[in-house]
């Protein structure tokens, strides 16, 4: 490597991609070692780019002859531009940001640099890297261009679509649009045709928000660049899918909801807590008055904070997707895009150039952007100012070295509601309990609270928001009761109950690995719901008897292609090994409608919850299901495995899925492994009522009470307005569980894997109706086993019989041991 060689820097969101591209480029120079540095990914597994990391790569690649930086897409360009600002003047003068496509450009640039080309010559060669492709594909490209709207010219395409999303282009659909725009080498502008707005950059989340696009508005696009046709096609396809957002969205909660019959608070996460009230969002961040250093230092401070927050949000997104669901996790996409927003970063840079400190510049720019959202006429878009402030606060705290108040304050958290992100950040050893003015016991943020073991009450009413900071609040997350400023005697009694519960939990954890057997000798298996290899390890450590539900969609969501058979085998095997010989239940892919696959777009559905979900989606794509079944059957040769088909409604659906399994086994030359069991989810009322017909063909039923409740009672579990209706204790829902058990009649086992299984009060009802297995989150295993051990199966049967004849969910609760 000579001192006069031009250095190359690869900036990519993916570290693996950057390494592979650099390796390919190095191969092309036949052994000559080039100064190629990589600035890619936030770590080996987290996508993102970091300006500080790019500065280090440029410094490492510089040999005195100049450095050419090649980037992949979107924020990689923004991060590289910010990195230039952080360099000293001498080095900056030798650096060139190259617009060439990453892979082709890097290969050509490497060859040119190895031949002794100057930096400008390397850039020129790299920029022309696509000439061969363009020449070869020119006829097709011209054909597309000729079909463009008159007057747009060959280098620009136009398109339009109508927005049908209930809240227009709000945070999540706008984030999907921006993400699509940034994927390709194209410049995209957008305007609201219905309001005759001006054109704005479609790669800026904040600028899209200023268009005020509501449901029913027409939107127009202008796209130019080498990938204009591809970009336009993908954007229009995304719009046709309503940006992968269900149209049946929950209504917006107004500040002053109409007066209706008062709904009682709902116990949403069992447990007891007492402590001082901590009001969410009460303490604003104090902006210190400090003198600014030089602009490069201040920009570096912003860049470092953004990189740290981006990493945190990426981790939260991954965890939420695994524990809650991809739809809820997608809100983090909007948060990530705000961190890369060109308009926001330009505003920060301008303020720093004018002498402001990093903290002051960031705070002012965020406040200005939030004010733009707040000034929009649409109430839903106005509320997005909270998202801007939330992300802005994260960056401010990173710069100031202070943590978020909700996760570090000890006591009972009081809030209107919590986002999944906020719930994910709460620490159970600090937040002893949660009281929400609104919310649903079936919402995903509450599922997170249950997983963390934090007692919670939802639907407490807006009056709780008036509780003074520091007021003692006692919370019973089981009954839904809470007491504000209780008398001293009540405090002492409640504190004793909390201590007694903590002792019971400690005892339960100590004997978690022991079987759960009722007092009269009836064994009940207690398993764990698993969404990753780490979850499987946690389940085994928690004493789970088996993995009762493995949500295999974590392997399929959020990626551009389906996982291969070998990848699936490897992951399923790791889960089986983590469970150390215990049976694992692999649910086949449960997506469609409300959980779309990026690599397999689904048709637009008016009501995706009643559309092609679960087994319906899989049977429509039999190759995808066959590959999964082949991977499952391979693992079943060496481990006890159960395969479970989701959302079965008819015998024909089950038979079709079973035939595919038989065909896969036959084609692979294998017989059905002795330890391979075949079963189905009971999530549809019809399946529960036809259990006797199914029981002749299955080894087991697994009742998913979350979906079964919303389908049986026509109450969306994510809709606060019907939270009180979608109650799992409803006698009608209990009758469906009982129907499943009666239909099984000893021919098939019956488990419950929904949230109801983890409710200790429900143990008597479920065991009394004939359920012989419960599958819960790993942290709930020990307590669930203790609840079973406290039961007498004959008394439980009598309790269940009384519940089935009750007139309401409230009556059922009142009849349970201890009442309420």
Distance (Å, whole) CA 683 – CA 692: 15
CA distance 470 to 452: 23
Residue 444: active-site member: yes
Give the angle 242-438-370 at the CA atoms, nearest 5°: 60
Instruction: Please give the model's pTM, rounded to 2 decimal places.
Output: 0.55
pLDDT at residue number 627: 96
Same fold, 136-244 and 264-282+296-340+353-507: no
Using a 10 angstrom Cβ sphere, with 0-12 exposed, 13-18 middle and 19 or more buried, the burial of residue 147 is exposed
Tally of residues, the chain = 820
Q: In this structure, are residues 10 and 37 in contact, taking their beta carbons and an 8 Å threshold?
A: yes
End-to-end CA distance of the chain: 78
Taking alpha carbons only, the member of 376, 373, 393 closest to residue 384 is 373
Q: Could you tell me the residue ranges of all domains in the chain?
A: 7-129, 136-244, 264-282+296-340+353-507, 522-815
Look at the alpha carbons of 519, 521, 522, 528 in this order and tell me if their dihedral is positive or negative.
positive
Question: Domain 136-244 sits in which CATH superfamily?
Answer: HPr-like (3.30.1340.10)
Q: Which residues pair with 11 in a beta bridge?
A: 39, 71
Q: How far apart are CA 392 and CA 369, in angstroms?
A: 10
What 3-state class would DSSP assign to 479?
Answer: coil
Residue among 444, 621, 634, 639 flagged as catalytic: 444
CA 635/CA 573 separation, integer angstroms = 6
The helix or strand, by DSSP H or E, that contains position 280, with its residue range, turns out to be none
| Burial letters 648-661, b for 16+ CB under 10 A, else e | bbeeebbebbbebb
Q: Which residues of the chain have pLDDT under 70?
A: 1-3, 29-31, 43-46, 74-75, 129-155, 170-172, 183, 205-206, 246-263, 281-284, 319-331, 376-386, 402-409, 419-421, 442-444, 593-595, 602-606, 717-721, 723, 818-820
Third-level CATH fold of 522-815: TIM Barrel (3.20.20)
Spell out the alpha helix ranges (H) of 517-564: 533-541
Angle at 361 between CA 366 and CA 385, to 5 degrees: 5
pLDDT of residue 498: 86
Question: Distances in Å between the alpha carbon of 43 and those of 50, 312, 461?
Answer: 10, 12, 43
Nearest to 1 by CA among 89, 143, 110: 110
Question: Which of the following CATH numbers is that of domain 7-129: 3.40.50.2300, 3.20.20.105, 1.10.3470.10, 3.40.50.510?
Answer: 3.40.50.510
CATH of span 264-282+296-340+353-507: 3.50.30.10
- CA distances to 16, 25, 184, 382 from 21, rounded to whole Å, are 9, 6, 18, 43
pLDDT of residue 104: 82
Q: Pick the catalytic residue from 98, 741, 753, 799.
A: 753
**Over the stretch 364-384, which tens digit does the pLDDT of each residue have?**
998 888 888 777 665 555 556
Summarised one tens digit per residue, pLDDT across range 522-567 is 999 999 999 888 889 989 999 999 999 999 988 887 777 899 999 9
The rounded distance, in Å, linking the Cα atoms of 512 and 752 is 19
- Please indicate whether residue 753 is annotated as part of the active site: yes
How far is 313 from 46, CA to CA, in rounded Å?
A: 10
């Amino acid at each position: 490597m000579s001192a006069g060689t031009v250095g190359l820097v690869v900036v990519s969101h993916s570290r693996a991609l950057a390494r592979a591209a650099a390796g390919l480029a190095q191969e092309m120079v036949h052994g000559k070692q080039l100064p190629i540095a990589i600035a890619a990914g936030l770590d080996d597994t987290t996508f993102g780019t970091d300006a500080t990391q790019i500065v280090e790569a440029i410094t490492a690649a510089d040999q005195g002859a100049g450095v050419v930086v090649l980037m992949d897409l979107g924020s990689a360009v923004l991060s590289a531009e910010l990195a230039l600002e952080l360099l000293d003047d001498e080095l900056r003068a030798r650096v060139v940001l190259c617009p060439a496509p990453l892979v082709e450009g890097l290969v050509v640039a490497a060859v040119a640099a190895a031949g002794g080309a100057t930096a400008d010559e390397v850039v020129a060669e790299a920029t022309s890297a696509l000439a061969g492709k363009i020449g070869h594909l020119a006829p097709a490209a011209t054909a597309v261009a000729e079909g463009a709207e008159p007057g747009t010219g060959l280098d620009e395409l136009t398109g339009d679509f109508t927005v049908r999303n209930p809240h227009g282009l709000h945070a999540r659909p706008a984030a999907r649009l921006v993400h699509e725009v940034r994927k390709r080498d194209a410049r995209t502008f957008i305007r609201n045709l219905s309001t005759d707005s001006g054109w704005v950059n479609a790669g800026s989340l904040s600028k899209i928000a200023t268009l005020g696009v509501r449901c029913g508005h027409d939107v127009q696009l202008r796209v130019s660049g080498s990938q204009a046709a591809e970009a336009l096609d993908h954007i229009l396809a995304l719009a046709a899918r309503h940006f992968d957002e269900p149209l049946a969205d929950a209504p917006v909660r107004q500040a002053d909801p109409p007066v209706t019959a008062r709904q009682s608070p709902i116990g949403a996460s069992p447990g007891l807590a007492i402590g001082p009230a901590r009001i969410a969002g009460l303490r604003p961040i104090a902006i210190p008055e400090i003198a600014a250093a030089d602009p490069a230092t201040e920009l570096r401070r912003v860049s470092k904070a953004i990189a740290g927050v981006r990493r945190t949000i990426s981790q939260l997104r991954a965890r939420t997707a695994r524990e809650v669901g991809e739809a809820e996790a997608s809100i983090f996409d909007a948060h990530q895009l705000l961190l890369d927003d060109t308009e926001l970063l330009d505003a920060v840079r301008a303020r720093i150039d004018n002498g402001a400190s990093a903290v002051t510049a960031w705070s002012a720019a965020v406040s200005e952007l939030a004010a733009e959202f707040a000034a929009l006429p649409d109430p839903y878009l106005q509320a997005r100012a909270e998202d801007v402030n939330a992300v802005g606060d994260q960056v401010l705290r990173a710069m100031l070295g202070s943590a978020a108040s909700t996760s570090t304050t000890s006591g009972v958290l009081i809030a209107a509601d919590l986002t999944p992100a906020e719930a994910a950040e709460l620490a159970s050893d600090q937040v002893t309990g949660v009281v929400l003015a609104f919310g649903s016991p079936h919402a995903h943020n509450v599922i997170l609270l249950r997983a963390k073991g934090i007692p919670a009450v939802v639907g407490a009413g807006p009056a709780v928001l008036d509780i003074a900071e520091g007021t003692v609040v006692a919370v019973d997350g089981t009954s839904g009761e809470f007491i504000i400023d209780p008398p001293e005697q009540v405090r002492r009694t409640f504190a004793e109950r909390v201590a007694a519960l903590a002792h019971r939990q400690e005892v339960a954890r100590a004997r978690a690995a022991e079987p759960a057997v009722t007092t009269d000798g009836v064994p009940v298996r207690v398993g764990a719901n698993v969404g990753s290899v780490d979850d499987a390890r946690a389940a085994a450590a928690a004493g789970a008897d088996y993995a009762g539900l493995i949500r295999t969609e974590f392997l399929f969501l959020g990626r551009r292609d389906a996982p291969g058979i070998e990848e699936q085998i490897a992951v399923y095997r790791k889960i089986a090994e983590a469970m150390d010989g215990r049976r694992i239940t692999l649910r086949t892919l449960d997506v469609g409608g409300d959980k779309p696959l990026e690599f397999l777009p689904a048709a637009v559905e008016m009501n995706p919850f009643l559309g092609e979900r679960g087994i319906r989606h899989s049977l429509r794509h039999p190759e995808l299901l066959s590959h999964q079944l082949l991977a499952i059957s391979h693992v079943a040769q060496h481990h006890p495995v159960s395969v479970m088909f989701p959302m079965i409604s008819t015998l024909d659906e089950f038979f079709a899925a079973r035939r595919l399994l038989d065909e896969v086994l036959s084609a692979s030359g294998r017989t059905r492994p002795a330890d391979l069991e075949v079963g189905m989810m009971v999530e549809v009322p019809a399946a529960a009522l036809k259990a006797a017909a199914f029981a002749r063909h299955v080894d087991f039923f697994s009742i998913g009470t979350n979906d079964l409740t919303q389908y049986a009672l026509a109450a969306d579990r994510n809709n606060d307005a019907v939270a009180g209706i979608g109650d799992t204790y409803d006698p009608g829902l209990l009758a469906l569980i009982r129907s499943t058990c009666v239909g099984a009649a000893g021919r098939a086992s019956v488990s419950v894997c929904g949230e109801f299984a983890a409710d200790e009060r429900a143990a008597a009802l479920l065991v009394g109706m004939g359920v012989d297995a419960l599958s819960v989150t790993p942290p709930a295993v020990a307590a669930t086993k203790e609840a079973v051990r406290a039961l007498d199966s004959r008394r439980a049967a009598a309790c269940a019989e009384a519940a089935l004849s009750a007139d309401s969910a409230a009556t059922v609760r009142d009849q349970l041991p201890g009442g309420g």
